[in-house]
């Protein structure tokens, strides 16, 4: 028979391989330490994050320097939140609150939501969204500029498509969340404005978001209308100016436009700010408030006093450049001597910097291809994303996730322009194309082309060989491993020949 196998003595596992107690998450109670359990070391500086032990990533260790809420819960800074935590309490000011947005996609898909931007004593911001029953419970309770403690929410990765807040995470709350109003905390500032001067907006891309502060020099009336999607809309247009000697038009939407109008209508040139306003190329350069934008009236920041002093000293009495036109794509042209020629686009190697080069030239439209002049866009106001046609004739927008019975055609029109030095292909977007096509929308041209292509061709030919003063954005792009300049028209204005003649005479006399 085979000899029995020798029994190996059992060895105790090394200390480092013994099962360890899991790191506890915030809000729990520490497990009892047994005498044999090695003492846990605090997180090192390399893992604690740049601002201490809260790096916004992974589980968060306990800090003895934290405050407590009225209910005895420890309050952590917003930068300490992450999806690995289930229990936490933060103390923050509501610096922005949106209107309620409702949707109805059928019997089993109905709901409502609103969003807030929260800011704590460190100046860190985070977006918070309230869904369904939480809207009924908290919408009236939560007021802008008030301070609250928040707990019982869920932390998730931020969806940058819907959030412009500078945070990797965002919060969601339901009806079971706990929110308490607390006394005002002076350590939490009311606004954190990364201000951009109005004149610099001319060099920013359409679709970018900026923070601006200016003196309200024009306040329009409340306008009510129905969108192409059949929705009742309300808007207000406000003109502002700052010390960069530039003005711009800002459009406010919804109930917040009514609230703003009621507050400022009796004020004399109030200082107003807009945080997270979206740049549009409708009528030159304009700004529009979005669901997450913050609207400020006489904010208590140093720039407010500086701007007021400049305005009262007569700063706005000087000639200011208007970035926004009215009812079309017009803008305030530069001086004749400041224009570029078309040939200079290549000669000066424009568009090679990180940001696009913005120039102005006078050019004549020589040719417009008519095969792909527009694209199918979402009919939602302010949403220009593409939609796809469904088999049943409806249209689906991936950006909103909704289905529509209609769509909107928006121009993305190519054209060849020329001056006395050369020619270039450029792209006209929706508002600028409408301007050079005599006010015709892409929807109207599509109908005309389908019903009478001969008339469509005749109409298009009638818009050739017209001369305009154009503002171009030039950017170098790579295509098939080759770099090429892309020129797009951000603003267009008809030539004022009387003014053009006077400017030409002045330019000639300057050389005499």
> Sorting pLDDT into bands at 50, 70 and 90, what band is 59?
very low
Please give the C-alpha separations between residue 324 and each of 86, 249, 251, 320, 498, in angstroms, as whole numbers.
48, 6, 11, 12, 22
Give 157's contacts (C-beta < 8 A, 6+ positions apart).
Answer: 83, 168, 169, 170
Say if residue 233's pLDDT is above 90.
no
pLDDT at res. 2: 53
**DSSP 3-state of 125:** strand
Task: Give the whole-angstrom CA distance, residue 195 versus residue 217.
Answer: 19
Mean pLDDT of 278-289: 83
Mean pLDDT of 348-370: 88
Q: Is the pTM of this model over 0.85?
A: no
Task: Give the whole-angstrom CA distance, residue 362 versus residue 340.
Answer: 8
pLDDT tens-place string over residues 91-105: 999 998 888 888 877
pLDDT tens-place string over residues 308-353: 999 988 876 666 788 876 443 444 456 677 789 999 998 888 888 7
């Amino acid at each position: 028979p085979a000899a029995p196998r020798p029994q190996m003595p059992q060895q105790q596992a090394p200390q480092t391989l013994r099962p360890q107690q899991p790191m506890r998450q915030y809000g729990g109670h520490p497990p009892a330490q047994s005498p044999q359990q090695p003492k846990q070391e605090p997180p090192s500086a390399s893992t604690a994050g740049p601002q201490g032990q809260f790096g916004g990533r992974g589980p968060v260790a306990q800090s003895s320097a934290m405050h407590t809420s009225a209910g005895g819960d420890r309050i952590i800074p917003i930068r300490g939140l992450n999806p690995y935590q289930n229990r936490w309490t933060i103390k923050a000011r509501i610096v922005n609150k949106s209107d309620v947005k409702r949707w109805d996609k059928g019997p089993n898909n109905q709901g409502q939501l609103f969003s807030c931007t929260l800011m704590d004593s460190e100046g860190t911001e985070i977006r918070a969204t309230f869904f369904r029953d939480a809207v009924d419970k908290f919408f009236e309770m939560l007021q802008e500029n008030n301070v609250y403690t928040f707990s019982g929410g869920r932390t998730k990765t931020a969806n940058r498509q819907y959030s412009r807040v500078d945070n990797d995470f965002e919060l969601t709350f339901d009806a079971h969340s706990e929110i308490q109003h607390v006394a005002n905390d002076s350590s939490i500032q009311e606004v954190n404005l990364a201000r951009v001067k109005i004149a610099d907006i001319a060099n920013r891309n359409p679709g970018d978001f900026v923070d601006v502060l200016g003196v309200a020099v024009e306040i329009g009336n409340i306008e009510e209308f129905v969108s192409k999607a059949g929705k009742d809309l309300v808007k207000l247009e406000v003109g502002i100016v700052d010390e960069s000697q530039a003005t711009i038009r800002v459009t406010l939407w919804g109930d917040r436009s009514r609230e703003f109008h009621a507050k400022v209508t009796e004020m004399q040139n109030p200082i107003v700010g807009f945080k997270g306003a979206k740049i549009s190329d409708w009528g030159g350069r304009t700004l529009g408030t979005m669901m997450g934008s913050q609207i400020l009236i006489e904010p208590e920041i140093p720039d407010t006093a500086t701007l007021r002093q400049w305005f009262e000293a007569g700063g706005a009495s000087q000639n200011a450049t208007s970035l926004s036109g009215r009812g079309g794509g017009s803008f305030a042209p530069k001086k004749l001597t400041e224009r570029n020629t078309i040939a200079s686009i290549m000669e000066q190697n424009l568009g090679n910097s990180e940001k696009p080069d913005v120039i102005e030239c006078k050019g004549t439209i020589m040719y417009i291809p008519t095969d792909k002049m527009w694209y199918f866009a979402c009919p939602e106001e302010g949403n220009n994303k593409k939609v796809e046609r469904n088999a049943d004739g409806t249209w689906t927008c991936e950006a909103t996730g909704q289905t529509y019975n209609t769509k909107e055609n928006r121009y993305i029109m190519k054209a060849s322009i020329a001056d006395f030095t050369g020619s270039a292909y450029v792209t006209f977007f929706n508002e600028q194309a409408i301007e050079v096509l005599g006010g015709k929308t892409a929807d109207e041209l599509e109908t005309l082309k389908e019903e009478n292509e001969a008339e469509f061709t005749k109409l298009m030919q009638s818009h050739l060989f017209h001369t305009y003063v154009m503002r171009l954005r030039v950017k170098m792009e790579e295509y098939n491993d080759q770099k090429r300049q892309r020129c797009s028209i951000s603003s267009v204005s008809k030539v004022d020949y009387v003014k053009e003649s006077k400017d030409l005479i002045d330019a000639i006399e300057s050389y005499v």
